[in-house]
Amino acid sequence: MPKILAQCKKIECDRGANLRKTLLENGIDLHNGKSKLINCRGIGSCGTCAVQIEGEVSPVNWRDKTRRSLPPHSPTKDLRLACQTRVLGDVRVTKFEGFWGHGSQIVWKPKAENGENGENGEK
Ligand code: FES
């Protein structure tokens, strides 16, 4: 089973699981601030579920590519829409600041083996 590392959690999921759904079901704060309330619920139109992913996931689909080509996102930034992403292997997920998760400061990242707590990258 693939493992997702996000915030302070290690989550096991089925291969092909939807990343947004899996993170939310496991209590991960995927959406920043008011985007917790105001988001498209996973249809790929709002862009607020953007995260950085390391690991094996599905190829970028047209919804993800289209939404991230529009401001404040940038098609050149290394982000994906969690709602349009399927988990295919072990992944590490990092969330950035901003309503759309498009900022440069890390809000949370995976807990590291060296004791980092997964929040803001601080020990
Ligand atoms: S939840 Fe709206 S684009 Fe993913």
Question: pLDDT tens-digit profile of 91-102?
Answer: 999 999 999 999
| Span from the CA of 123 to the centroid of ligand 1 (angstroms) | 30
pLDDT at 118: 59
pLDDT at 123: 41
| Span from the CA of 10 to the centroid of ligand 1 (angstroms) | 22
* Spatial separation of the C-alpha atoms in residues 88 and 117, rounded to whole Å: 25
Kindly report the protein residue whose alpha carbon is nearest to atom 1 of ligand 1: 42
pLDDT at 111: 82
- CB-based contact 95:32 (threshold 8 Å): yes
Each residue's pLDDT tens digit, 30-75:
999 999 999 999 999 999 999 999 999 999 999 999 999 999 999 9
Pocket of ligand 1 (CB under 6 A): 20, 39-40, 42, 44-49, 67, 81, 83
pLDDT at 1: 95
- Select from 22, 49, 64, 69 the residue to mutate for testing ligand 1; criterion: most ligand atoms less than 8 Å from CB: 49
Coil vs helix vs strand at 86? strand
In percent, the amount of the chain with pLDDT more than 90 equals: 89
Domain 3-108 class in CATH: alpha beta
Q: Mean per-residue pLDDT for 2-17?
A: 96
pLDDT at 13: 98
pTM of the model: 0.91
Residue 121, CB-side half-sphere exposure with 13 Å CA sphere: 9
Reduced to 3 DSSP states, what percent helix, strand and coil does the chain have, rounded to the nearest 5? 15, 30, 55
Ligand 1 nearest-atom number relative to CA 67: 3
Residue 104, CB-side half-sphere exposure with 13 Å CA sphere: 0
Ligand 1 nearest-atom number relative to CA 47: 3
pLDDT at 84: 98
The torsion angles phi and psi of 33, rounded to 5 degrees, stand at 50, -130
Domain ranges across the chain: 3-108
* For residue 116, pLDDT beyond 90: no
Q: What is the overall mean pLDDT for the chain?
A: 93
Angle at 122 between CA 4 and CA 114, to 5 degrees: 60
